[in-house]
Amino acid sequence: MKQTFLLAILILILSSCGNKEMSKGEVQARLKNLQELGTVEYTLSKVLSVDDNQWYSAGDRKVLMSMKADLKAGVDFSKIVVANLDHSNKSIELKMPPAKIILLDIQPDKIKYELINVSATRADFTNDELNQIQILGEKDIESKLEELGILKEADKNAKLFIKSWLKMMGFETVNFLETKKDEKNV
């Protein structure tokens, strides 16, 4: 009876250890096609400042970080379609999809800790808390992208690029048809 009880305890301990186990360097991956024409690249920066005061503790914790992000926007190349083509007049009309954000890239080496100040009565920031602060910064940048007018610029540059490219291919008149609102991607 005693032995069975000990065995059960041992199994429990071993199974709880198993939760932490993982194969090191494990990689799950997949390769996919893409068709985005990136037409603008922005470098954005933001200062992240947090002052952590809690009701239950004396003293505070402060952290100041600077964060830089690269952002690329453009259009879906596969959705650029020819609407009208007139070879005799060397003219072409195209339908262009609306611009969108392709990627936001915050490289770890572009995040700098300017100041970490913790009162003697408080515990240091954990690395997980610092990562949470970086996530707040990332979300804040994402939420302000619309205000920066990036998509408008991406749209303009996409038209400029396609126009100059088609002119290299012999077209003299290149026009773009307005994309109806209901055709726009969200």
Concatenating the DSSP letter of every residue in 63-130 gives EEEEEEEEEEEEEEGGG-EEEEEETTTTEEEEE-PPPEEEEEE--GGGEEEEEEEE-TTSPPPPHHHH
Binding mask 5-24 for other proteins (x = CB under 8 A): ---------------x-xxx
- Nearest approach, Cβ of 147 to other proteins (angstroms)? 8
Is 87 or 180 the residue whose CB approaches other proteins more closely?
87
Question: Residue 148, interface with other proteins (CB under 8 A)?
Answer: yes
| Residue ranges in 94-133 that form contacts with other proteins under rule CB under 8 A | 102-109, 111, 113, 116, 125-133
* Helix/strand/coil for 176: strand
Q: Terminal CA-to-CA distance of the chain, rounded, Å?
A: 65
Stretch that binds other proteins, among 8-16, 39-47, 177-185 (CB under 8 A): 39-47
- Nearest approach, Cβ of 104 to other proteins (angstroms)? 7
Task: Choose, by CB under 8 A, the member of 136, 146, 172, 184 that binds other proteins.
Answer: 136
The count of other CB atoms within 10 Å of the CB of residue 37 is 19
Question: Residue 168, interface with other proteins (CB under 8 A)?
Answer: yes
- Whether residue 59 contacts residue 121, with contact meaning beta carbons closer than 8 Å, is answered with yes
Task: Choose, by CB under 8 A, the member of 39, 151, 155, 159 that binds other proteins.
Answer: 39
Tracing tokens 């990136």 back to the chain, one arrives at 38
